Amino acid sequence: MLFINQQRALLAGCLSLGAIALSFGGSAEAQTVRPQQLAQVTSVSQLSDVQPTDWWFSALQSLVERYGCIAGYPDGTYRGNRALTRGEFAAGLNACLDRINELIAAGLADKVSREDLATVQRLQEEFAAELAALSGRVDALEAKTAELEANPLGLNATTSKLGFQVTTGIFAASEPGGATNNAIIPYEINVDFDTSFTGEDLFRIRLQAREVSQFDGDPVGFLFGPAVSGAGSDINDDVNLENVFYNFPLFNGRVDATFGLNDTTPGDTFVFGVPFQPLSDFADLPDVVYDGVGDTSLAFTWEAIEDLFFVSYGFGAGDPNDFTDGPASSVFGGGFFAGPTVHAAELAFTPTDTLIVALAGALTARGQAGAPTGFPLFADTDFAAASIGVTWEITPAVIFSGWYARTFVESGGFDDFDDFLAGFAFPDLFIEGADGGVVVGSPDSATANLIADDDGDFPFYAEVYYNFPITDNITITPGVYYITNVDGDDDDIIVGGVQTTFSF
């Protein structure tokens, strides 16, 4: 027994010369490319081409009975007359090693004879290089198999991932002018391909399919729906390329830069954010960017003073693919500079880890008619907007957030308008991972799109929601929001429902 214990480190998995040479007598292709075609046998009689008159018959019989590491082909043959390469021999040696280790681990070391151990030791010394190479290939194969199991599309497990999110629910509304007994079931499906080239950057491609209707008289719509406004606005899409952007650090991480190729706005890089997870689209960031400007953008955020002061700037273009002409229904131009454009900037102050105060502004132009002359980055401004926002974590369980935005309209037939929002979010309310919220405000700019004239009465908005997880991948959000004076005639609308989000 002492002799056997001393041999355990040496026996990474070998057997006698006869066992290995005869048990793996197939071609190199059969051993290295299609090893799964070999099958263990429990009796020599299972091998149709092995006869008692063969000179290796007794050796095979003994090895099957003692070690059980003889393999045959699926057609029941052994092919013992075929030539054996050193690589095939090493493969057989390595396979039979596992069997000896199993016997030792099971306390059956006495079943391994001293003669076989001595033979195996000599073989291991002779074929050390081949065994090392084979071990490396096996380790690489196991690592690749594990990666493919974790990422069936072949994405790098450490730098890439594939994510799915499906948002749906059932919603109903009491519309202006009377109640309705109908309900809708909208949906939005997002597929995100995320990858990183340096470990600190992010490249994302998002595919999206959605069918989201906006109730007649609802000026804000759902948070998971499209950024549209107006009575009866509707999106019914096939699968589309929804979002493409690349976010990357510069200057040792002091600058966070983003290049957005599709459906991105300069404000996407701003520091200020709200903690709400509501049903409505209004309980989000202030919309200081004209809706038509949301395709291509170049933006950055500079950490001017570490953990204290941030400066952000972005330039966006709404129709960058067309040099001179905008959409067929538009009289405005296209291209990166002559189409709809926006310049947006933010100054964010973070005096503590729990407080953010931010000032933001934007200049937006709907575009020129015809090709640009010169470099008209700030030409033909139609909208100007400014906002101030505050988010304060009062305690880990109570967060206050609010903002005020003023939009100055130079054209379009509407007066200037004011939006504001304020509310409280309650993380981990009742259960861990849940989030409740109460929000009030005025969606003045959204309501202005529904009426020809502003009668001076601002609309009032209120929402209550509770977002809670069912599992790590399923979240339920019941909620209701209420908006007054949505069409200038003191009409109200109430929208409520239950939203479900699946993420995996």
**pTM of the full structure:** 0.64
What pLDDT score was predicted for residue 147? 61
Query: In the structure encoding, which two tokens stand for residue 199, read together?
Result: 């470990």
Query: In the structure encoding, which two tokens stand for residue 370, read together?
Result: 């015809």
384 neighbors 361 (Cβ within 8 angstroms): yes
463 neighbors 448 (Cβ within 8 angstroms): no
What pLDDT score was predicted for residue 310? 95
Angle between helix axes 114-126 and 86-105 (nearest 10 degrees) is 140
What pLDDT score was predicted for residue 20? 41
What pLDDT score was predicted for residue 207? 92
444 neighbors 418 (Cβ within 8 angstroms): yes
What pLDDT score was predicted for residue 397? 95
Tell me the C-alpha distance between 60 and 49, whole Å. 13
Vertex 204 angle, CA 199 and 207, to 5°:
155
**Would strands 492-503 and 474-484 be described as parallel, antiparallel, or unpaired?**
antiparallel
What pLDDT score was predicted for residue 263? 75
In the chain, list all ranges with CATH 2.40.160.
Answer: 244-503
| Architecture of the domain whose range is 244-503 | Beta Barrel (2.40)
183 neighbors 171 (Cβ within 8 angstroms): yes
439 neighbors 283 (Cβ within 8 angstroms): yes
What pLDDT score was predicted for residue 171? 93
- Write out the chain's pLDDT in tens, 504 residues: 333 333 333 333 333 344 444 444 333 333 333 343 445 666 777 777 777 777 667 777 777 766 666 666 667 777 777 766 666 666 666 767 777 777 777 766 566 666 766 776 676 677 677 667 766 666 677 666 666 566 555 555 567 888 999 999 999 988 655 555 678 899 999 999 999 988 889 999 999 888 888 787 788 888 886 544 343 444 556 788 888 999 999 998 899 999 988 777 777 778 998 999 999 988 888 876 655 455 678 889 999 998 899 999 988 887 677 665 544 445 556 667 667 788 889 999 999 999 999 999 988 876 655 444 434 445 556 678 899 999 999 999 999 999 999 888 765 555 678 899 999 999 999 999 999 999 999 988 777 655 444 455 678 999 999 999 999 999 999 999 999 877 656 678 899 999 999 998
Number of helices followed by number of strands (H, E) in the chain: 9, 19
